[in-house]
Chains A and B, each alone.
Chain A
């Protein structure tokens, strides 16, 4: 799902003129078909399978007779501690997305406004570079930085030898830090695409009319970059809610999230139906959140226009 958004924003060649006699609509369909067929096969079918699984009493691999049941959807009711875990996961997703949005917006602003040509290209590559290394490696390297007596402490003690430890491995902030590191590039790229299209003359006009930098930021840059921020927030929030690697490695005892609970159902407990039911419940919650916010956003952008 996240993959198709940048594709759509770069524009599908639906307006290609049909010079050789092929009708435009046929060309459009022919060009769209492969990606939609692939999405159907790779996203929709597995999702449907999991949806069916979520109503079964046991994982359909073995000798247990399969009976259809709704009991897994009552998990939040019969196991009330799950509600707390879900709430914590949503909060964590909120903090991670907010941090990404603030850091990502300003990084993108610097890239789009203060750099040109080669420097800009190099900086963009440097932002993408962490994406080329394995996520697990990145998370594990954070454990070396954050643990007591890790690099962070070494750095502090080289300045203040008597200071205590500031290592915060195995805490919620450590998880959020790992998640922000992992998903920040999405936010920078989407904000960058939105910011780079803003016409310089608009900003010049604002400046010549005496607008201060915060007015330009609040009245021009943020509203015009809002589509990028929203896309970035969606691309960050959804995977962060389901993340299990970062909480598990950086969270220690507090690293229990919906992601780890669901992963446990698939890998340890071999209870795929419960895992699937929990996933779909979370999906519903996330969609409800987006539905609420998209209404708010649309009203705001409507007022601006």
Chain B
């Protein structure tokens, strides 16, 4: 659900995509007409028209797209259409599964020179590793953490959600995985595999007097925040950028000491890719600071995994201000959840919600 909303928003913004000013490229290394196919969400960066035109002018490689609308669909497409795709976008929580099934190959970073600029916390994240090798190039990331009304005291810990000062002024994201993650971080556990679910539940139930509503869409969040229904909320970093920039809401994004709940999308090369070399060229372009600058400033983008790309943004750019490089140190990235754990999380979340209603 998070993903769809995020991407739909991007897609909407991308619909108004504009032709970028021509940039000078070095010697054009045009090759014989090569064509690669990218498998991604629609309107999610890789299919920006201006970018593909520039990439083709630079390398001679033509890029076409196929889209998926859910992560299981992406895996199914990889399994059933070998040889059809050269680049695929995979959420880091799914990378190991794809590697384990032999759907993708380890990345030869020699073919991706821009990878030298990637933040090491993301480039070498454990989620991207399988059998000691890295199977994906970290591309974009974001955080779920706290948002607070400007002027209020910034919370230092998620414990602020239970602080009597915010009685009736807190909003939570209605999502089991996020809810459990906050309870786990607050009780000092691994959010991807908390050993004591009861402690997680107790922490979450402790927010009861403060919780005003459980939001499930960005639009709902914006309307309620504008109506001053709550002052402190669990929120997405990318949505905070949009609320501040597009809706002009007085919101401040804060990552407390326990660290944020992160997600990381990476670009991978399928094992059956017909043009693995050209695929790496394209991935290299996707983490190029020049591309990211255009994408982030003219269309709107999540945070880039490339530190150089983030530094290229103006110092006061909201995307850069909100996605501080320091957050990468404390952020925990969501991993894959086995079915039984997911079910346990969902049941716990229902129980917590029932306690709020009771």
The interface of chain A, by Cβ under 8 A from chain B, is 58, 61-62, 64, 79, 81-82, 84-85, 88, 143, 147-150, 170, 248-249, 251-256, 260-261, 264-265, 267-271, 274
Is there contact, CB below 8 Å, between B357 and A254? yes
The interface of chain B, by Cβ under 8 A from chain A, is 1, 72, 175-176, 208, 211-214, 216, 220, 223, 227-229, 339, 342-343, 346-347, 350-351, 353-358
A79-B350, A148-B229, A256-B356 are known contacts. Are A62 and B213 too (CB-CB below 8 A)? no
A248-B216, A271-B346 are known contacts. Are A253 and B211 too (CB-CB below 8 A)? yes
Report the minimum CB–CB distance from B55 to chain A (whole Å).
36
Given contacts A61-B72, A265-B346, 10 further A-B contacts (CB under 8 A): A81-B350, A85-B354, A148-B227, A249-B220, A253-B357, A256-B353, A256-B357, A261-B350, A268-B175, A270-B342
Is there contact, CB below 8 Å, between B72 and A62? yes
Complex Cα–Cα for A249 and B219 (A)? 12
Q: Which of A148, A249, A268 has the most CB of B within 10 A?
A: A268
Report the minimum CB–CB distance from B200 to chain A (whole Å).
15
Instruction: Return the chain B residue nearest A57 by Cβ.
Output: B339
Residues of A within 8 A of B223 (CB): 143
Q: How many A-B residue pairs have CB under 8 A?
A: 71
A64-B339, A253-B213, A255-B357 are known contacts. Are A264 and B227 too (CB-CB below 8 A)? no
A170-B212, A264-B350, A269-B346 are known contacts. Are A85 and B339 too (CB-CB below 8 A)? no
Report the minimum CB–CB distance from A262 to chain B (whole Å).
10
Residues of A within 8 A of B175 (CB): 268
Complex Cα–Cα for A148 and B226 (A)? 12
The residue from B1, B176, B208, B213 contacting A252, defined by CB atoms under 8 A apart: B213
Complex Cα–Cα for A232 and B214 (A)? 33
Is there contact, CB below 8 Å, between B214 and A252? yes
The residue from B1, B227, B357 contacting A85, defined by CB atoms under 8 A apart: B357
A147-B229, A170-B213 are known contacts. Are A268 and B357 too (CB-CB below 8 A)? no
The residue from B213, B228, B339, B357 contacting A58, defined by CB atoms under 8 A apart: B339
Instruction: Return the chain A residue nearest B175 by Cβ.
Output: A268
Residues of B within 8 A of A267 (CB): 1
